[in-house]
Amino acid sequence: MIHPAPLLCLGVAVAATSFLPPGVAPSESSEPIAVPIASPSEVINSIGMKLVLIPEGQFAMGSPRGSRNADLDERQTAVTITRDYHIGAFEVTQSQFQRVMGRNPSQFQGTRVEGGGEHRPVEQVSWNDAVDFCKRLSELPEEKGAGRVYRLPTEAEWEYACRGGNAGNYAFGDRVEALGDYAWFEDNSDGRTHPVGKKKPNAWGLHDMHGNVWEWCADWYVPHAGRPLIDPTGPSQGTDRVYRGGGWSYAASYCRSANRTATNPSFAGFEFLSIGFRVAMDAPADK
């Protein structure tokens, strides 16, 4: 597969589950709100970020053999997630990144876009900066006092959360015609990012897992093993970090749940790419 950008192209909560049954319908998305209200299965942190509890469970990571548009590095692998965790319901916004980091690297900000960039996802972010954001967020007094430690999701956690119990090409199944209801991508983005939460969420309440901006994962890149894995975190070293989900300027095939891409974590030479992230957090042991 040839990627249009010059980067390395590689080939809510419910009870513990091995995937939700067919027919589970995601709810309509809502406008971002200034003061979110948390349900018992959610966390709202001190800067207004909403995190959803994702249940432990099992899923098939990657694409079945012979799947249309699948790359060679998407070899299907049985994965077990043995612990619950939280993940952001939305991609990190420009205002949240600005508040924690004191700067905004995004292309689509301020007067460059109608309505400004406050609620749009932060982009043009290196993996190193995303990790630094998680560290600095964790060190805020309110977060430290609550014992909340933020991190990037592992690649397995990201895909498990993205699928939301659906084994199809997308979180809503295989009908590419429906992608526009859930994602900003090449066909409907009008050449820019959009405020988070404007599209339908998946069955677990997560918005923009497909499209808008790509999202960094914690792992170094490695081809899928093809053998069963338990809580995989990727190799201990490498040259490129994984990012997922597709983006506003990419075709539908890049937005598939299983699609994988990676590049240098320092981002040197790739600053123009619309890569952002969402945060994850381990659930309390006494869940």
Q: What is the CATH number of the domain that holds 243?
A: 3.90.1580.10
Task: Look at residue 34 and tell me if it is in a domain.
Answer: no
Task: Look at residue 33 and tell me if it is in a domain.
Answer: no
Task: Look at residue 31 and tell me if it is in a domain.
Answer: no
Total-model pTM: 0.86
Which segment of 4-18, 31-45, 199-213, 272-286 scores lowest on mean pLDDT?
A: 4-18
Task: Look at residue 13 and tell me if it is in a domain.
Answer: no
Separation CA 198–CA 79 (nearest Å) = 31
Q: What is the pLDDT of residues 194-205, one digit of tens each?
A: 999 999 999 999
Task: Look at residue 32 and tell me if it is in a domain.
Answer: no
Task: Look at residue 28 and tell me if it is in a domain.
Answer: no
Whole-number pLDDT of residue 285:
65
Q: Listing from the earlier edge strand, what are the strands of the sheet with 241-244?
A: 261-263, 241-244, 214-220, 275-276
Task: Look at residue 17 and tell me if it is in a domain.
Answer: no
Domain residue limits at 131: 42-282
Mean pLDDT of 122-138: 97
Task: Look at residue 164 and tell me if it is in a domain.
Answer: yes
Q: What is the pLDDT of residues 158-195, one digit of tens each?
A: 999 999 999 999 999 999 999 999 999 999 999 999 99
The total number of structural domains that make up the chain: 1
